[in-house]
Amino acid sequence: MHEEIQMAAAHPLDILSDDEIKRAVTVIRFHFTQTLRAPETRFCQLGLNEPSKQQVAEYEQAKEADPNGVDCERQAFAIVLDRMAETTFEVVVSLNPVGFERILSCIHIPGVQPNLLQEEYAMCEELIRTDPKVVAALRRRGITDLSLVMIDVWTGFLSDPKKRTGHPLLYLRSFKDANGYSRPIEGIQIDVDLNKMKIIEVRELFHVPIPPPDSIGDNWRNLPERSGLKPLSIVQPEGVSYKVNGHHVSWQNWEFRVGFNQWEGLVLYQISYEDKGKKRPILYRASVAEMVVPYGDPRHPNYLKNAFDAGEDGLGRNAHSLELGCDCLGSIYYFDAHLCDSKGNPMVIKKAICLHEEDYGLLWKHKDWRSGVWEARRSRRLVVSFFTTVANYDYGFFWYFSLDGTIKAEAKLTGVLSTSAIRDGERPQGYGTMIGPNLYAPIHQHFFTVRLDFQVDGVNNSVQEVNVKRPDPNEHNPYKSAFYYTTSTFYTEEQAQRNISAARFWRIINPSTFNRNGEPCGWRLIPGPTPIPFALPESKVIQRANYLKNSLWVTPFDPKEKYPGGDYLVQKELNDGLAEWTQANRNIYNTDIVVWYTFGITHVVRAEDWPVMPMEYCSFSLKPDNFFDYSPAMDVPKPGKTAECCQVNMPPLNTPQDQPIPATVAATSDNNNHHHHHEETNKTSLQAKL
């Protein structure tokens, strides 16, 4: 595998290196100390300031003409919090040439709160454990060992945006390593000023007994294990089929670049497909731009739970270092993530991004029943993924590239439920599900919004909606079984504010390129599970995430429009985001466009989701729609040319000779006997093995 891996010089879209982060921090610190006299600065974000599309194109053209004579422009973008003055700044730093770094801009952004910091979580925990009012309230509940108190800090989204506020939720561990979520401490309302790191108010609203210790919930790491699972090995003895050059990946006609940042985590750039020797662009940039988790239980403290896990916390900042054999199975290539902590130190997450191939069943198959001739091809796909933990939940984000041209994006949800205590004899009454003694998990939703900057055969694209319909009663339908599809094109942002419906999908086309049948070349966005928000439009939840009222939005490309809910979501008050931008009702026909799509799940909890939730999946697909002249999967080699034949499951060694071969073996041998109708040698060889 290693001969396929090469290191390349920095590309304009590459992740910032540790050295670049250090140089950017040095310049920013000097600027704030000398100019603003702000010694208590905190780096809420620091990463690549993405260059314009034109700059990237000019660099790549120059690099192609002279591979050794071109340096790319590198810039860093930072959001800096002055804790003493309680002010927020956006800073752009030029990073080259080395030794001549400089501030390009430093802008004060009034009335906003940037994302929470990991140090704020830690400091808040220490504050809670030592505050006399909190200690007294816990003592009244019989809690004296505060080392067993677990604290989750949620943003104060109902608070004054001028004050940086947190609302800690408290839990009691039965012992040091126990699952804290099995024993919530209810009824204590705590408001914390996160800038001054002091408690504003402690109120005891009500008292609910703490759930008793639970042998299932507390001991989730040490429950008895089943037996009988044999090792499952994924091997590629001849190496992998992909190539990595720096952050550039190529595999089976696909090409893309891998990026990573604190807000979105994994970002894919410049996705293209080589068709008949021509590299055809599809997406310039793709990412999960936001994730919202609103809870439906109106009781305290669950009505306070409304998380923007990307914008308030950071999908990338909370990413895992992945482990071979656990997170990823097979021949794996890993990318490290280079970020910055709140004090400006480089923070490296080793093996944050996983790249590998996996088998995906049959790609296509057909048998001519008249002649008995048949052909089949196996499918495989390239997987790019990362995992992140935000408080109790763990999320995996996966992008799949297939041999038939399909791109699939998938969110995987696991981890531990956010829980509440309930009194003896009470039930959550539909607002939750009982999962243990005096313990329930409230109903909630997960919304994932992707930002898809399309570039189908070039910059100028349009979006169409396709609906399948029945004929009207007065139309010709003699057998009452007719149905057909209609296509409508969106010309303005208002027209493109759409929701899902039966048999509806959207098509992103280039109006200027056509396949051999005269159809405009495009890509089909096939919706997956797409919940509707149940919170009312006037709720604070929807006011913050007003873009959830539509499953689909389309906007003209604007580099400033990065996130669907806006740039600052902690205690958000500013009217920005998709619902605000699209009021201009701009043109989206035959121009550079961005498609925003939201998918997700409504989680009515089951007892089986406890103590650690089995993986839940939700996804959507992008499929070529008249982009090719015919199926791009037709040139995939026959089985046997890309891998060894499948192993036949032989009967156990102690099976008597006169017993029939088990059904699984018989079925396997029959399938393999007919693997290639025209290759008698395969049939003879397999019979010899049996």
Would you please indicate which residues are annotated as catalytic (active-site) residues? 309, 393
User: DSSP code of 552?
Assistant: E
The per-residue DSSP string of 382-441 comes to: EEEEEEEEETTEEEEEEEEEETTS-EEEEEEEEE----EE--TT---TTSEEEEETTEEE
78 near 95, Cβ under 8 Å?
no
Look-up of token digits 């804290």:
180
282: Cα within 13 Å, side-chain hemisphere: 30
110: Cβ–Cβ under 8 A, 6 or more apart, which residues? Answer: 87, 88
Convert 9-32 into a string of H (helix), E (strand) and C (coil). Answer: CCCCCCCCCHHHHHHHHHHHHHHH
Instruction: Give just the sign of the alpha carbon dihedral 597, 57, 261, 103.
Output: negative
Roughly how many angstroms between the first and final C-alpha of the chain, as a whole number?
Answer: 34
The values of phi and psi at residue 682, to 5°, are -60, -45
Angle ∠(590,591,596) on CA atoms, nearest 5: 105
C-alpha 108/C-alpha 81 separation (Å) is 10
458: Cβ–Cβ under 8 A, 6 or more apart, which residues? Answer: 281, 510, 512, 513
Tell me the three state secondary structure of residue 93: strand
Tell me how far the alpha carbon of residue 262 is from its chain's centroid: 12
User: DSSP code of 485?
Assistant: E
C-alpha 146/C-alpha 159 separation (Å) is 27
